[in-house]
Amino acid sequence: MKLPLAQAYCTGTSPQLDTHTLLAHHPPPPPPPPPPPNSAGVHDILVVSENLDDADLVLALPPVQCGVRLHKALGLHPEHACLKTLPMMLALIRTHHAQLTCIGEIGLDYSPHVLGMEDPEATKQIQQECMRQQVELALELGLAVNVHSRSAGHHALALLKETAAAAAAAAAARSGGDEENKGSVRAVLHAWDGKAHYAEAAALDPEHEIYFSVPPCATRSPLMAKWIARVPLERLLLETDSPALAAVKGEVNVPKHLKVSVEVLAASKGVEVEDVREATRRNAERLFGLGVGAGMERRRKEEWNK
Ligand SMILES: [Zn+2]
């Protein structure tokens, strides 16, 4: 499937930010067309990786294409979890962290077809170890994480919090208690398929910054409608997960369909679409520290040192 990256851009009124795409799979169009009028309003696209091959494609993307800023994320997806590959991905993230917006996608996928029949428990443990080590690196580098969870939502949330608490305890032990580390994590759970009460509790947890991103397929998902209704707008983001998760099952998804996610949120919260666009953009900028390229902690430190 070939999808020219430029076709994926949209045209709108106020800037929107697609926080989860897999567009590195699709080569940019040769030659690049003139920048289209951005009338659908997607000004920023975050492109995540799933494995080492994807990571190279993500790193090769230009910072701006067709008038749209491309943000990069590297990570090992749970479907590719492998303890031999993991150190290579961690090294790649370390080398390129200054140009990353977050680490992802990482996570847990306990779908039967992913776990397989042979030894599902062993597969789960490998996924958990891969996620844990990538979260530890994100905490060390001050980056947020972009999390995939399928049939494992509350397990992924628990692992995020446990890893942050363990990192804080280790830092306290090293520093003799001098180092201030509250053990909090910054994350977005993308296309969440877990129970609404877990999402609501995580979003409201003041110890962490945990967001949930809404894909266009939410229009046809009663399960998603439940958690979207319970998670406050201040903890929601927009995503397409393009080329997957379109509003129409089986259709190729592109970032211009972000407007469907906007409309789902506006209807659920009883607010104007413009309010959704503004709120979700602010949320994404806060989570990722956009504008500085390497995460909220760096921006906070820079502002503190002014
Ligand atoms: Zn995913």
Is 37 contained in some domain? Answer: no
Read off the pLDDT of each residue in 94-108 and give the average, rounded to a whole number.
Answer: 96
pLDDT above 90: residue 235:
yes
> What's the pLDDT at 2?
34
> What's the pLDDT at 34?
42
Q: Percentage of the chain surpassing pLDDT 70?
A: 83
> Residue 274: pLDDT band by 50, 70, 90 thresholds?
very high
Read off the pLDDT of each residue in 72-87 and give the average, rounded to a whole number.
Answer: 97
Is 26 contained in some domain? Answer: no
Is 1 contained in some domain? Answer: no
Is 6 contained in some domain? Answer: no
Q: What is the CATH number of the domain that holds 96?
A: 3.20.20.140
Read off the pLDDT of each residue in 196-210 and give the average, rounded to a whole number.
Answer: 97
pLDDT above 80: residue 28:
no
105 Cα to the center of ligand 1, angstroms: 7
145 Cα to the center of ligand 1, angstroms: 12
146 Cα to the center of ligand 1, angstroms: 9
80 Cα to the center of ligand 1, angstroms: 12
171 Cα to the center of ligand 1, angstroms: 31
9 Cα to the center of ligand 1, angstroms: 20
> Domain range holding 248?
42-54+67-305
* Better-scored residue on pLDDT, 184 or 290: 184
205 Cα to the center of ligand 1, angstroms: 23
306 Cα to the center of ligand 1, angstroms: 38
Is 223 contained in some domain? Answer: yes
> What's the pLDDT at 133?
98
> Residue 37: pLDDT band by 50, 70, 90 thresholds?
very low
Q: Which of 20-24, 267-271, 289-293 has the lowest mean pLDDT?
A: 289-293
**Residue ranges with CB less than 5 Å from ion ligand 1:** 148
SS3 assignment for the chain: CCCCHHHHCCCCCCCEEEEEECHHHCCCCCCCCCCCCCCCCEEEEEECCCCHHHHHHHHHCCCEECCEEEEEEECCCHHHCCCCCHHHHHHHHHHHHHHEEEEEEEEEECCHHHHCCCCHHHHHHHHHHHHHHHHHHHHHHCCEEEEEEECCHHHHHHHHHHHHHHHHHHHHHHHCCCCCCCCCCEEEEECCCCCHHHHHHHHHCCCCEEEEEECHHHHHCHHHHHHHHHCCHHHEEECCCCCCCCCCCCCCCCHHHHHHHHHHHHHHHCCCHHHHHHHHHHHHHHHHCCCCCCCHHHHHHHHHHC
pLDDT above 60: residue 44:
yes
Read off the pLDDT of each residue in 96-107 and give the average, rounded to a whole number.
Answer: 96
20 Cα to the center of ligand 1, angstroms: 8
pLDDT digits over 149-183, tens only? 999 999 999 999 999 999 999 888 888 766 666 78
Read off the pLDDT of each residue in 240-254 and give the average, rounded to a whole number.
Answer: 87
As for how many domains the chain has, the answer is: 1
* Better-scored residue on pLDDT, 268 or 64: 268
Read off the pLDDT of each residue in 25-45 and give the average, rounded to a whole number.
Answer: 59
Average of per-residue pLDDT values in the chain: 86
279 Cα to the center of ligand 1, angstroms: 23
Is 96 contained in some domain? Answer: yes
Is 147 contained in some domain? Answer: yes
Is 35 contained in some domain? Answer: no
Q: Which of 9-18, 86-95, 219-228 has the lowest mean pLDDT?
A: 9-18
> What's the pLDDT at 40?
61
> Residue 243: pLDDT band by 50, 70, 90 thresholds?
confident
34 Cα to the center of ligand 1, angstroms: 31
49 Cα to the center of ligand 1, angstroms: 10
226 Cα to the center of ligand 1, angstroms: 20
> What's the pLDDT at 246?
85
Q: Residues, the chain, total?
A: 306
150 Cα to the center of ligand 1, angstroms: 8
